[in-house]
Amino acid sequence: MSKPPVIWCVGGSDSSAHAGLQADLRTGQDLGCHVQSIVTCVTAQNSKIVDSVEPVSVAMFDAQWHTLLDDVWPQAIKVSLLPNYELVVACSKWLANIKQQRPEISIVFDPVMAASSEAGNRLQQSEAATELLTLMLPYVDYLTPNLLEFEALTQISAHQPVNQIAFQITEKYGVNQVSWLLKGGHHEAATATDWWFKGESVCGFSTDKLSVHNTRGTGCTLSTALACFLGYDYFADDAITMAKAYITGALKTGVQIGQGAGPLGRPGWPEKIENLPNIVTAESNLGQSLAFAEMNVDSMGLYPVVDSIYWLERVLKQGVRIAQLRIKDADSAQLDEQIQQAILLGKTYQAQVFINDYWEKAIEYGAYGVHLGQEDLLVADLARIQQAGLRLGVSTHGYFEIARALAFKPSYIALGHIYPTQTKQMPSQPQGLKRLQHYVNLLKGHYPTVAIGGINCERFAAVTATGVNSVAMVTAITLAESPEQVTRFLIEQFAQSKEVENANIS
Ligand SMILES: Cc1ncc(COP(=O)(O)OP(=O)(O)O)c(N)n1
Ligand SMILES: Cc1ncsc1CCOP(=O)(O)O
């Protein structure tokens, strides 16, 4: 069994266990991480009130860091309540030390000042708050204040256009390694949008505001979930998307314990599509509310991706029912003719043939569908493709791109790359089977899925066992000794895996 990521949570004990380190431990456990704790203070609180806060001594604080560091390095660190100035200084020294030795360890800082951000429930001495950003920012990668904390710490108004906020953040703090995730849960709007500021760029993660009572520990839970996903090595945009989906699930499953607001639920790995946030980006093309024609999911299965009519006909003859013409040589002679032929072959063999990239020609010649990558999506006229009735397949490489694609409801979502591939230079690491399984679980019953990248005959059964609707392959077919035999073998294997899946369902 693989080892769980180790996450350090630096913060206070909450006797009610609704928030604080107790909530962090439950979040880590829920997400398969091992949370180790560095206690900054003990608090006596319940669901209604914070009665008292007693900081630990700096000696005890240092001893916890020393002892843990003597044993194991974490994958990520989440810092929350630092109740007094001495502990802010001590913590910043430890973070400086960690960052110097292991800059790759992600540090998330949730600047907690009051329980449920109510002034009467103050957890932090005010002189600590004054120095918080000066001392901590140089070592922090992600800062997750709510609106009240943001305004108190920065003196920047959170009630102005987001571009203006971005401008003021960079003007005041410069462009550095810090990402700001400004949580919008306390805003009066109908949606709860968390805004992510990284330098000049701004991106929103938006959900409908939930009318729920049990909201205690929301900030702790979100920031720890973020640290956990970073600990699993997800990219920042994916980790934020997942943390937002997680908190939405947690808010929906909160429980009434005590007389005030109860704690959040622990909804497990984010695999509910309805909990994914809407992504609000500057790329207006990707925020369009469209809906593309549906595919025939039953005849997806093996999906050869080939670069000529010659290859297309070879695989279609073996019984393939979905295929793609992917010509990467833009000067290719007779490009128009190849595309027309491909469309014709699709009709002849009653197969769903997708044209890669050349969406205008695909519309002109009446293709069944178009496949577009992330860069193509920014420039293609998606509305025109949709109005022409073509199907649209899109490449995605993680939760963020999946969530963003859902706005325009593509016909299928491709997930890649799963294994190392020689066919194409990829800017990221292979995703592996575990992530593929999570994506399939998320999308099943909502969108057809296609796995791509480095899939060969040996890996095929494990990939189909995830329940993915289609497996796209290039070299495993085109470089095979007998492409016809391999194609027929894989079609048969896919059919068998579907039978097993259907038998398991019924
Ligand atoms: C089914 C399928 N999935 C992914 C891709 C890759 O498309 P894209 O990201 O556009 O990269 P190129 O194919 O253009 O290199 C695909 N072609 N098909
Ligand atoms: C086009 C593409 N997009 C992501 S991986 C890939 C290449 C897949 O080729 P192969 O099946 O030979 O690894």
Going by alpha carbons, the residue nearest to atom 6 of ligand 2 is 453
CB 470 within 8 A of CB 301: yes
3-class DSSP state of 387: helix
Mean pLDDT to the nearest integer, 291-303 = 96
The CB density around residue 428, as the number of other CB atoms within 10 Å, is 10
174 is a domain residue: yes
Task: Kindly report, residue by residue over 371-399, the tens digit of the pLDDT.
Answer: 999 999 999 999 999 999 999 999 999 99
Residues with C-beta less than 6 Å from any ligand 1 atom: 305, 324, 326, 356-357, 371, 373, 376, 393, 395, 414, 416, 424, 450, 452, 472
Are residues 337 and 250 part of one domain?
Answer: no
1 is a domain residue: no
Residue 42 is given by DSSP the state E
Are residues 299 and 232 part of one domain?
Answer: no
User: Which of 18, 396, 399 lies closest to 229 in space, CA to CA?
Assistant: 399
Tell whether residue 474 is among the known ligand binding residues. yes
Whole-angstrom distance, CA of residue 58 vs CA of residue 488: 68
pLDDT of residue 128: 75
Whole-angstrom distance, CA of residue 187 vs CA of residue 205: 14
121 is a domain residue: yes
Q: Residue 303 sits in which domain range?
A: 286-505
Are residues 310 and 365 part of one domain?
Answer: yes
Are residues 277 and 293 part of one domain?
Answer: no
DSSP string, 175-206: SSS-EEEEB-TTSSSSEEEEEEEETTEEEEEE
Tell whether residue 356 is among the known ligand binding residues. yes
pLDDT cut 90: percent of the chain above it? 83
Q: Tell which atom from ligand 2 comes closest to the C-alpha of 455.
A: 11
Least confident range of 91-105, 125-139, 469-483: 125-139
Point out the ligand nearest to the CA of residue 426: 2
127 is a domain residue: yes
Among residues 264, 282, 300, which one ends one of the domains?
A: 282
Cα 98 to Cα 51, 58, 139, 228, 484, distances in angstroms: 34, 18, 9, 18, 56
Are residues 99 and 64 part of one domain?
Answer: yes
Task: Kindly report, residue by residue over 317-344, the tens digit of the pLDDT.
Answer: 999 999 999 999 877 779 999 999 999 9
Q: What CATH number does residue 486 fall under?
A: 3.20.20.70
Going by alpha carbons, the residue nearest to atom 4 of ligand 1 is 395
pLDDT of residue 223: 98
The arrangement of strands across the sheet holding 6-14 comes to 50-55, 34-45, 6-14, 76-79, 106-109, 142-143, 179-182, 191-198, 201-208, 278-280
Higher-confidence residue: 200 or 233?
233
Domain count, the chain: 2
Whole-angstrom distance, CA of residue 252 vs CA of residue 70: 40
| Whether residue 121 has pLDDT greater than 90 | no
Whole-angstrom distance, CA of residue 186 vs CA of residue 407: 25
409 is a domain residue: yes
Whole-angstrom distance, CA of residue 19 vs CA of residue 257: 13
pLDDT of residue 116: 66
The CB density around residue 44, as the number of other CB atoms within 10 Å, is 14
H or E element that contains 245: helix 236-252
pLDDT of residue 284: 79
Are residues 234 and 179 part of one domain?
Answer: yes
201 is a domain residue: yes
Among residues 282, 316, 343, which one ends one of the domains?
A: 282
Tell whether residue 361 is among the known ligand binding residues. no
Mean pLDDT to the nearest integer, 151-174 = 93
| Whether residue 15 has pLDDT greater than 70 | yes
Are residues 52 and 140 part of one domain?
Answer: yes
Tell whether residue 170 is among the known ligand binding residues. no
3-class DSSP state of 450: strand
Token pair recorded at residue 131:
């120095």
Q: How far is the CA of 199 from the centre of ligand 1 (A)?
A: 30
Point out the ligand nearest to the CA of residue 323: 1
How many helices and strands, by DSSP H and E, does the chain display? 18, 18
Token pair recorded at residue 423:
């066919």
Q: Tell which atom from ligand 2 comes closest to the C-alpha of 456.
A: 11
Q: How far is the CA of 281 from the centre of ligand 1 (A)?
A: 22
Mutate to test the pocket of ligand 2, among 315, 460, 474, 486 (most ligand atoms within 8 A of CB): 474
Tell whether residue 357 is among the known ligand binding residues. yes
Are residues 493 and 451 part of one domain?
Answer: yes
Going by alpha carbons, the residue nearest to atom 13 of ligand 2 is 454
| Whether residue 118 has pLDDT greater than 70 | no
pLDDT of residue 331: 77
337 is a domain residue: yes
Token pair recorded at residue 341:
């032929």
Give me the sign of the Cα torsion angle 270, 271, 275, 278: positive
Q: What CATH number does residue 83 fall under?
A: 3.40.1190.20
| Whether residue 125 has pLDDT greater than 90 | no
Question: pLDDT band for position 176 (50/70/90)?
Answer: confident
The torsion defined by the Cα of 459, 461, 462 and 467, in degrees rounded to 10, comes to 130
Tell whether residue 327 is among the known ligand binding residues. yes
Point out the ligand nearest to the CA of residue 418: 2
Are residues 337 and 268 part of one domain?
Answer: no
Task: Kindly report, residue by residue over 423-468, the tens digit of the pLDDT.
Answer: 999 988 999 999 999 999 999 999 999 999 999 999 999 999 999 9
Are residues 309 and 269 part of one domain?
Answer: no
Q: How far is the CA of 437 from the centre of ligand 1 (A)?
A: 20
120 is a domain residue: yes
Task: Kindly report, residue by residue over 229-286, the tens digit of the pLDDT.
Answer: 999 999 999 999 999 999 999 999 999 999 998 999 999 999 999 999 999 988 878 8
Among residues 223, 247, 282, which one ends one of the domains?
A: 282
| Whether residue 120 has pLDDT greater than 70 | no
Are residues 318 and 275 part of one domain?
Answer: no
pLDDT of residue 113: 82
Are residues 266 and 365 part of one domain?
Answer: no
Q: How far is the CA of 280 from the centre of ligand 2 (A)?
A: 29
Point out the ligand nearest to the CA of residue 423: 2
